[in-house]
Structure 1
């Protein structure tokens, strides 16, 4: 096939383009912005466009298919040309489904936890020598790419995204996959992080359940009230349903042990979210024919999906973790997980908030009490990223202090000041948890951990 990518520089898009070229398809693409690592990957594959921009002349009647990325607007000149020619236009989820129609499709969805559960399932299957395709939204340890499509494989593991498929396909990406086995980890609408209205957001998950193939399986987190509510709306359809719950566990000397019958399985991860995710991953693997002993032997050395209570460094009895925070509840639960794991250590928590969100009073007041369990709380707002120069820093600091209402609280607004804080804080007896939803703008976590740990 001759396939053209509109917005080839996207993280999934460029991985899909490279994969299809490796299969022998004739691949071309355009974009008006391509950044690393996409740029280097496309260059190495011989697929990097010679110049940035949109070039309708690249499309003619010999193009078999166009794959449209989210970055391309509905008035994109190449898209308009493809529509004029009558070329088949896919979003990448539509195309992945078409390439996987004869495979067993496992789709893992949820507001959060889906990357971790997906990576757990993939980790286990890989350790057991199983062959499978996959599609994930973040780089995972042990896997070189975000996507693999191999015509020979009979199974695909997909991280299901609930957001729009493309500018001309305004339904959730996960609705295109039509899973044989689906999992929902939780459903938590956040009006600060989604453009989808609340009821529509919940409806997308109901539609996702209804997209499961007849006699397929739904695996869901019974501990999550909103998930249970959505599942109950779909009792009219004939699918298998299997709920999972937080398993029993104990913590001894900084190690979490999962209770499996009479056995206690030591883990390299901790926290209730991770343990719940293991229960979900186990249920998926059971449906795929993995035996109980095989799963728990394989999961013992699973470390973390990217940036979920991810170990960074340790020294002199202090440990540094990084984590991804996108809701006050997630911040609260991650702090609790570290405190539960290390009850005899004090905790410094630093959360990096989006600079513009921090100016919204409704946004910051949602974080009231979220850091109460941390012994020392720091909010980092990189005000240098705010284009407007009339920001009243003192007013911003005051509003954050009032909102968080923490006994040992500090607001830092410059990266250099954050470095000074870490260099001067006496880390003896403290652990550090650094959380962000901003991809750590300007922050080198290894360097920051070193600054914190060396001032013992």
Structure 2
């Protein structure tokens, strides 16, 4: 008899992918949510898992269910969750469930404030390129994979992107603490999620806990150029192998980045920037420990495409010589990511004028106490713009909302332009055709539904 599992908040990114993965393995899946957006909506519908109506329905919870998986979108007083607790049903967060289903596998967990999606995606790409059998969970849809999760009985290894966010509404522990990895990689630490970790120390403690909780004979890889992470990584731990790594040697020739191998070869890659060279080195370190040779890694990495919204080219026009006009879209929103992406693009196109636009979109970035973390992050740009919407939920939820003057003071960038109206932002950008050649838009949001197609056509 197949197991019956109900998902509370099935519309979440990881949640709906796990639901699809379990359905493919023969589980009986049901779910509820009070709001479901694309691509989750379409994918659930295509597989017959879209709830007939949105909302929470305690009558869906019954003693015949083998387990409940609850997502972070639900609240502690969610009526379905309350009913499941009353019935004494087994309730998992998705990281707890993933661990339960992978106890017989080698577990590889990629953690860190930045780079974890790209590192995970590179590892998956390399394994697939060489026809290895593996399971996975990754935070974004990646090229060459139909779903963001795969969970099978036979795969000997599972690669998991592990974040530090809370596991569920009834479990505040970071997701990555549930996985008990045999191999863990921490890519870097930069303060984030201030609504959960109000201080830098509280945030760092989560990564310290990850390193401390590793089982014996575990392997901990870490970016040794990150000072705080180096302190955590180099600490002596019984039966834990420490593997520090640094950026892979590389060079840029006419706008093309090449990896420089120990044998003197030059390997062309579609990624660029110092932080991506670190991502490649981290992925290579992990691949070495799960049976991928250097030659195999280099053969596969050449065809790896950047993860969507990670320095993604929206529009491009190649000019005479090496001159180009390019519009990049990047998911960068935290201070460390903003600085790294800005510096990467400027270094890749050193002779061209770079205009960067940052949207302050998350609760952290819209909090006055956190805003100072952005100081100097745009210094590599020739022109800089910051946008925030002062009518959105995160802004209105902030206990101490920011002003344009606060932004100008925090960034300390000469002639910084700040907009709170997306129409005014778009009008300004459309006038910059002759002032810049490279345009970098960074946000985890949409810049107030900015028309990127129109921008691409007009600017390029």
TM-score (norm 2): 0.90
Q: Report the more deviating stretch, 288-297 or 373-382.
A: 373-382
CA distance, structure 2, for counterparts of residue 90 and residue 203 of structure 1: 24
Map of 1:89 onto structure 2: 91
Superposition deviation, residue 429 in structure 1? 5.9
Map of 1:336 onto structure 2: 343
Question: Which among 316, 319, 327 is matched to residue 320 of structure 1?
Answer: 327
Superposition deviation, residue 304 in structure 1? 1.1
Q: Does 2:226 correspond to 1:219? A: no
Question: Which among 294, 297, 317 is matched to residue 296 of structure 2?
Answer: 294
CA distance, structure 2, for counterparts of residue 360 and residue 174 of structure 1: 26
1:351-372 alpha-carbon deviations (Å, 9 max, x no partner): 1123977775444443333222
Q: Does 2:273 correspond to 1:271? A: yes
CA distance, structure 1, for counterparts of residue 139 and residue 434 of structure 2: 35
Map of 1:426-437 to 2, 5 A cutoff? 426-427=433-434, 430-437=437-444
Superposition deviation, residue 22 in structure 1? 2.2
Map of 2:246 onto structure 1: 245
- What secondary structure is seen at the aligned counterpart in 1 of 2:455? helix
Map of 2:399 onto structure 1: none
CA distance, structure 2, for counterparts of residue 202 and residue 413 of structure 1: 32
Contact 1:2–1:64 at 8 Å: present in 2 too? yes
- What secondary structure is seen at the aligned counterpart in 1 of 2:244? strand
Cα 1:34/1:410, change in 2 over 3 Å? same
CA distance, structure 2, for counterparts of residue 388 and residue 211 of structure 1: 36
Cα 1:214/1:360, change in 2 over 3 Å? closer
CA distance, structure 2, for counterparts of residue 19 and residue 164 of structure 1: 22
Number of aligned residue pairs: 447
Question: Which among 125, 134, 147 is matched to residue 123 of structure 1?
Answer: 125
Map of 2:430 onto structure 1: 423
CA distance, structure 1, for counterparts of residue 195 and residue 78 of structure 2: 26
Map of 2:81 onto structure 1: 79
Q: Does 2:236 correspond to 1:229? A: no
CA distance, structure 1, for counterparts of residue 80 and residue 177 of structure 2: 26
1:303-341 alpha-carbon deviations (Å, 9 max, x no partner): 212222222221132122121223323222221111111
Map of 1:372 onto structure 2: 379
CA distance, structure 1, for counterparts of residue 131 and residue 146 of structure 2: 17
Contact 1:355–1:383 at 8 Å: present in 2 too? no
Map of 1:114 onto structure 2: 116
CA distance, structure 2, for counterparts of residue 272 and residue 133 of structure 1: 29
- What secondary structure is seen at the aligned counterpart in 1 of 2:377? coil
Cα 1:386/1:12, change in 2 over 3 Å? closer
Q: Gaps (5+ residues) in structure 1?
A: 390-394
Cα 1:338/1:425, change in 2 over 3 Å? same
CA distance, structure 2, for counterparts of residue 17 and residue 247 of structure 1: 37
- What secondary structure is seen at the aligned counterpart in 2 of 1:366? helix
Cα 1:355/1:148, change in 2 over 3 Å? closer
Cα 1:68/1:190, change in 2 over 3 Å? closer
CA distance, structure 2, for counterparts of residue 33 and residue 106 of structure 1: 32
Q: Does 2:117 correspond to 1:137? A: no
Cα 1:38/1:188, change in 2 over 3 Å? same
Question: Which among 54, 57, 62 is matched to residue 60 of structure 1?
Answer: 62
Cα 1:207/1:384, change in 2 over 3 Å? closer
CA distance, structure 2, for counterparts of residue 359 and residue 162 of structure 1: 20
Contact 1:267–1:300 at 8 Å: present in 2 too? yes
1:94-131 alpha-carbon deviations (Å, 9 max, x no partner): 11111111111111000111001001111111111212
Cα 1:104/1:419, change in 2 over 3 Å? same
Superposition deviation, residue 419 in structure 1? 2.4
CA distance, structure 2, for counterparts of residue 198 and residue 280 of structure 1: 24
**What RMSD, in angstroms, separates the aligned Cα atoms of the two structures?**
2.4
CA distance, structure 2, for counterparts of residue 263 and residue 42 of structure 1: 46
1:51-93 alpha-carbon deviations (Å, 9 max, x no partner): 2222222222211111111112122222122122221111111
Q: Report the more deviating stretch, 2-11 or 107-116.
A: 2-11
Map of 1:28 onto structure 2: 30
CA distance, structure 2, for counterparts of residue 212 and residue 83 of structure 1: 31
Map of 1:154 onto structure 2: 156
CA distance, structure 1, for counterparts of residue 46 and residue 299 of structure 2: 38
Q: Gaps (5+ residues) in structure 2?
A: 397-401
CA distance, structure 1, for counterparts of residue 151 and residue 61 of structure 2: 25
